[in-house]
Amino acid sequence: MSASPIYLGVVGVGGVGTAFLSQLARLPNAPKLVLLARSSQTLLAPTPAYSPAIPAADWATAAAGPSLTKTGALPAEEIASYLASAPGRAILVDNTSDINLARQYPTFLKKGISIVTPNKKGFSDDLSLWKDIFASAAEGKALVYHESTVGAGLPVLSTLKDLVATGDEVTRIEGVFSGTLSFLFNTFAPASGSSDAKWSAVVAQAKELGYTEPDPRDDLNGMDVARKLTILARLAGLEVSSPDSFPIESLIPSELASLPSSADGIAEFMKRLPDFDAQMASIKDTAEKEGKVVRYVGSIDVAAKNVKVGLQTFEKDSAIAGLKGSDNIISFYTKRYGANPLIVQGAGAGGDVTAMGVSADLIKVVQRLQ
């Protein structure tokens, strides 16, 4: 007997979304792509047959697919209704960083539509949304997978969930949680050798490489790391009310802090950032005088219910100082593992590795729905 078809809606075709589509095109037993959206355009397989499916691969190939319905941006409720009416189980992959779409996850889940996403916003916003998401999933018998919200494709959330589910006691989680900030400090202040790179030039490079959030200030102000720690803390059992409920050290010059988060605001920020290179150079030099390097780290002390995010200096021969490229390193201290933590390390940003986490989650959801 062949498995009944599963229907897929994908929103977002940026760095991660494009890499995801190309992985989707190669997946055996891939669900039928029936909706594909970017900020101002939506492609739909025509109803009531939900056929022909949209060809995966990339946006241009998809948009050239025959007999598709094409429209502008659709409200989340309409996307949910469209997917819920498909003649089989449905999955939404959210490859945006849109908080408004994330706030609608409960609407999708209550209708039985499973969610797969690298978008951190829904899981790190107010605790009430977190609770609503998982209660709605239970109500709609739908699944929620979001591995790439922390450490991109690295098995961070699955590891933590396994530790908790098997009865281990997680006491502390610490490390480098930002691919962008890892790349910036590894390049700007390497542990071996020296670098003349200007901070602003390395920020521009990280943006170009697709490591940053759509607005790079979300990385530089520490909020991206704070969101990841909020997600990990919640999975470890702490009721963190929101990512701004603990102190976060920002690397954004105060003079640039109030620029708007529009495309113009981002461009203005990037243009004026070189004026403040001396500030980061001074932080680097101060660490250098002590024979150390500076890195941006985070930690969760589960027993003390304490979350910290900010700059710290490290000996040059330490594991954190020696990270390369966009690598994350995440150490789980638990009762079972004792003094030697379970460590997950590897690339923590970039389209391909993030999409890998999304595709792997999709495979798990498809297997569980069949």
Ligand X SMILES: N[C@@H](CC=O)C(=O)O
| Footprint on this chain of ligand X (rule: CB under 6 A) | 152, 178-180, 211-213, 219, 224, 348-349
144 binds Na ion, rule: CB under 5 A:
no
Q: Which C-beta is closer to ligand NDP: that of 15 or that of 106?
A: 15
- Minimum CB distance to Na ion smaller for 144 or for 293: 144
21-60 mask for ligand NDP (x: CB under 6 A)?
Answer: ----------------xxxx--------------------
- We find the least distance from the C-beta atom of residue 179 to ligand X, in angstroms, to be 4
The option from ligand X, Na ion, ligand NDP, none interacting with 122 (CB < 5 to 8 A, set by class) reads none
CA-to-CA separations, 326 to 55, 105, 329, 340, in angstroms, rounded? 32, 30, 10, 24
| Residue 215 C-beta: closest distance to ligand X, Å | 10
Interface with ligand NDP in residues 174-233 (CB under 6 A): 179, 210-211, 213-214
* Integer Cα distance of 134 and 139 in angstroms: 9
With CB under 6 A as the contact rule, the residue among 104, 119, 299, 334 that binds ligand NDP is 119
Instruction: Say how far apart CA 264 and CA 262 lie, in whole Å.
Output: 5
- Spell out the residues 6+ positions from residue 33 whose beta carbon is closer than 8 angstroms to its own: 8, 10, 24, 45, 53, 54, 55, 56, 62
Q: Is the omega angle on the peptide bond into residue 48 within 30 degrees of 0, that is, cis?
A: yes
Choose from Na ion, ligand X, ligand NDP, none: what does 219 bind? Cβ within 5-8 Å by kind: ligand X
Sign of the alpha-carbon dihedral angle for 189, 222, 144, 170: positive
Residue with tokens 């039985």, as numbered in its chain: 112
Q: Which of 228, 308, 335, 364 is catalytic?
A: 228
Binding positions: 12-17, 96, 120, 213
Closer residue to ligand X (CB): 83 or 93: 93
Instruction: Please report, in range form, the residues annotated as the binding site for NADP(+).
Output: 12-17
Known binding site for L-homoserine: residues? Answer: 213
Alpha helix stretches (DSSP H) within the chain: 15-24, 59-63, 76-84, 99-103, 105-110, 121-124, 127-140, 157-165, 179-188, 199-208, 217-220, 223-235, 263-272, 277-289, 351-369
**113: its two tokens:** 């539509």
Is 289 among the residues known to form the active site? no
The residues that bridge with 3 in the sheet, in sequence order, are: none
Cβ–Cβ under 8 Å, residues 358 and 20: yes
Catalytic residue ranges = 228
In the complex, the residues that contact ligand NDP under the rule CB under 6 A are 11-17, 37-40, 73, 95-98, 101, 118-120, 148, 152, 179, 210-211, 213-214, 349-350, 354
